[in-house]
Amino acid sequence: MSDDQIVDEGSHRSEASAAERSIRSRLVMKLPGRNRELLRRYGLALALAGIALSIRAVLPVLEGTTIYQLPLAAVILSAWSGGRGPGLFATLICATGILYWFIPPANTFDMPPDYVIGFCIFIALCLILSEFGAARRRAAHALEESERSFRLMAETIPEILWIESIAPRKMLYMSPRYEHIWGRPVRDLGPEPEAWMEAIHTEDRDNVRSAWTRWLADPTTRRLEATFRIVRPDGQTRWIHSRASLVRDKYGRPYRVSGIAEDVTAEKRAQEALAKAQTELAHVSRLTMLGELTASIAHEVSQPVGAIIARAGACARWLCAEPPDVAEARTVLDNIVADGKRAREVIGRIRTLAKRQAPHKDSLDINQEILEVIALTEHELRSNGVVCRTQLERALPRVAGDHVQLQQVILNLIMNAIEAMSGVGDRLRELVIVSGRDGSDGVVIQVRDSGTGLDSEGAERVFEAFYTTKAEGLGIGLSISRTIVNAHGGRLWVRPNEPHGAVFGFSLPAAERGR
């Protein structure tokens, strides 16, 4: 064998021995903890059995079944604390000691027939108790594992998990994520379970507390959802969305609540940014629509201005007559004032639609809003040969809405209907605007045209942003309209009109009384 081979073999052996030492060291590191646990359990069983036998030997008790009582207690304690193995170990020691010392003749392993049944019963009880101890230990291990898994989950997810006792009021568990989001230590919840509520923003606190109280008092409701703001000690404001479940006892009384709370600040800020962008887009849409209505605007303004000029000339003639006809001149002046007010209203409507302002909900008469928009589009209707009819139900409930936004929705629907009928030449171009009740607590508005209608794909996609069937359309009008209607708590839809055209409709909830 060459020197190189000897060196290689030696190096392989040294590497193998190093690997063996590494494995052995890891085993030694793992085993001591387990060995100590085994020694503790079996040592406790040995100690309990020895103590029971010693006390039994010292006590001046009569022979009989009393010889089994203390050893049986030692087996119970050994099995309870250590499981099956220590229980059987204590059983073996106690049975041996009883047979050798306490069953006559003493100091022998002989057993008289009179003691056989009692001794067998003792052994059977010890075996049963050992199994009970093993089952208890398994249950305890399962519970510990479940609690460990729960804590691992609770401490790693980004949401807050919490469990609270209602009677008595006590915070049972709050995940550490609370300290990160609330900015307050969990330990403060021990003496004061409602400390988390004190961090809620003052504008939201009363609503959250009221909802919490009503929820606990309502036996039919098990879940509660709430979104509110909190103020951290550093002054930061965060939005929280909390979901809770309630457990009641057999008498229906709440006794435990558990829930999950998440920080939705980023989502809220994104929604605010989206709402702002939609407002900007709606403003652009209104300006675009006003550009398309330039001819109608000019017509609407020119009519009262022309009437004012003509009547002013008539008034001058009446005043220059001999004698001056003051009564006729006064009548003409009244007409001039009326025409001036009409021109001012037209300009006011145009300025309102063009103005960029934050949405503001008022109590509105939806029929009045419809009539104002029709007046604004009157010239557009005439120039396209469209006959407009209205079927407006009287005494409709008022709706809570933004005057400008709702008029924009109606304007979009009317202008779309006019464009849909622009290519129709074989039938009457008819636009019907209908208002009515939507159940007992809302209104519904429908805009029916006799145009070309929509195919199945168009009906499904017509409300998508930037989808349009018009060559020069942007595809944002109906998308914005649906956003506005949804923000008002309603819904916007489309369906075919019979025999031709389409029906665009939207519903709005009635305003709360007293608004």
SS (H, E, C) 80-104: HHHCHHHHHHHHHHHHHHHHHHHCC
**pLDDT given at position 370:** 92
Q: Domain segments of the chain: what residues?
A: 23-153, 157-263, 269-358, 361-515
269-325 pLDDT, tens digit per residue, is 888 887 777 667 666 666 666 665 565 556 556 656 766 777 788 788 878 888 887
Predicted pLDDT at 215: 87
Residues 6+ apart with CB under 8 A from 78: 44, 45, 48, 49, 86, 87, 89, 90, 133
**pLDDT, mean over the chain:** 79
Q: Report the pLDDT averaged over residues 472-486.
A: 71
Q: Mind giving me the DSSP string for 38-53?
A: HHHHHHHHHHHHHHHH
Query: Is 408's pLDDT higher than 60?
Result: yes
- The topology under which CATH files domain 157-263 is Beta-Lactamase (3.30.450)
pLDDT the model gives residue 504:
92
**What's the pLDDT score for residue 320?**
86
Q: Is the pLDDT of residue 508 over 90?
A: yes
Number of neighbours of residue 277 by Cβ within 10 angstroms: 10
Mean pLDDT of 157-165: 85
Can 157-263 and 269-358 be said to share one CATH topology?
no
pTM greater than 0.75 = no
For 346-363, what is each residue's pLDDT tens digit? 666 556 555 555 557 788
Out of 334-338, 406-410, 455-459, pick the least confident: 455-459
**Least confident stretch, 58-72, 164-178, 258-272, 406-420:** 58-72
What pLDDT digit, counting tens, does each position of 134-144 carry? 888 888 888 88
Mean pLDDT lowest for which of 147-151, 208-212, 216-220, 327-331? 147-151
* 375 CB burial (10 A radius; 0-12, 13-18, 19+): middle
Looking at residues 193-208, what average pLDDT do you find?
86
The Cα 147–Cα 143 span in angstroms is: 6
Amino acid at 306: G
pLDDT at 213 exceeding the cut of 50? yes
What pLDDT was estimated at residue 305? 76
Going by pLDDT thresholds of 50, 70 and 90, the confidence category of residue 65 is low
Q: Which of 70-84, 249-263, 453-467 has the lowest mean pLDDT?
A: 453-467
pLDDT of residue 8: 40
Tens digits of residue pLDDT in 33-48: 567 888 888 888 889 8
What mean pLDDT is predicted for residues 16-43? Answer: 59
pLDDT at 19: 43
Just give the CATH number of 361-515: 3.30.565.10
- Gap between the Cα atoms of 478 and 416, Å rounded: 9
By the 8 A CB rule, do 265 and 238 touch? yes
Give the model confidence (pLDDT) of 410-463 as tens digits: 988 998 888 888 888 788 899 999 999 987 789 999 999 998 888 776 666 777
Instruction: Inform me whether the pLDDT recorded for 497 exceeds 80.
Output: yes
Segment 75-100, tens digit of pLDDT: 988 888 888 888 899 899 988 988 88
Q: Residue 387 contacts by C-beta under 8 Å, 6 or more apart in sequence?
A: 381, 428, 429, 430, 431
pLDDT at 23 over 60: no
In DSSP terms, 436 is beta-bridged to 444
Q: What is the CATH number of domain 269-358?
A: 1.10.287
